Amino acid sequence: MSTFTVTVAALLLAVAVSADSHDFTHHASLKDDDYYIHWKFDDTSITFNVTARTTGYVALGFSPSGGMKGADIIIGWVKDGKVTIQDRHATGKQQPVLDTKQDVEVLGGSEDGTFTTLLFKRKRQTCDDQDFEITVSGCH
């Protein structure tokens, strides 16, 4: 099991965003304000609210190297009002593979023609070899 501390360089580019924060304690705006992420921890889980300027899929990845290979990826979309979120992992520069065990809990989501928003929760330690352990230390 890989251990991953949420210190992803891109998340360190955090700036205040106008998205509804739902009492989230951390946030970042990436890619010229086209991708917003809010997250919060409790003792056992982490909850994410991700909003992106797209009407397609939205993904969030954790990688030990910053690249695709070996990344733990959560991907989701909204179609006809139905929210789908999947737990995946990348073996290289191709479509991420669906994890054997799905460790993501869908809490909600929406699409308004410009932005797609996904709200989901995952245990910080899933005991799944295809997922990273997410720790609080170093999180900004």
Q: Give the pLDDT score at 130.
A: 61
Total count of domains within the chain: 1
For residue 47, the model assigns a pLDDT of: 92
pTM: 0.75
Predicted local distance difference test score (pLDDT) of residue 126: 63
* Helix%, strand%, coil% for the chain, nearest 5: 5, 45, 50
Considering the domain boundaries, does residue 48 fall inside one? yes
Give, for all 140 residues of the chain, the pLDDT tens digit.
443 333 232 232 232 333 455 589 888 888 788 999 999 988 888 899 999 999 989 998 888 788 888 888 899 999 999 999 998 988 888 899 888 888 899 999 999 999 999 999 987 666 566 665 666 664 54
Is 8 part of a structural domain of the chain?
Answer: no
Is residue 62 a part of any domain in this protein?
yes
Q: CA-CA-CA-CA torsion for 105, 108, 113, 116, nearest 10 degrees?
A: -40
Domain coverage including residue 60: 26-123
Cα separation of 28 and 39, whole Å? 9
The CATH number of the domain holding residue 104 is: 2.60.40.1210
pLDDT of residue 22: 57
In whole angstroms, give the CA distance from residue 35 to residue 30: 5
Q: Cα-flanking dihedrals φ and ψ of residue 78, to 5°? A: -125, 125
Q: Give the Cα separation of 53 and 50 in Å (integer).
A: 10
- Give, in order, the Cα–Cα distances in Å from 22 to each of 3, 35, 68, 126: 27, 17, 30, 24
pLDDT at 4 (0 to 100): 38
> Does residue 139 sit within a domain?
no
The answer to whether residue 102 sits within a structural domain is yes
Specify the pLDDT at position 1. Answer: 42
DSSP 92: S
Neighbours of 34 (CB within 10 A): 12
- How many Cβ atoms are within 10 Å of 126's Cβ, its own excluded? 21
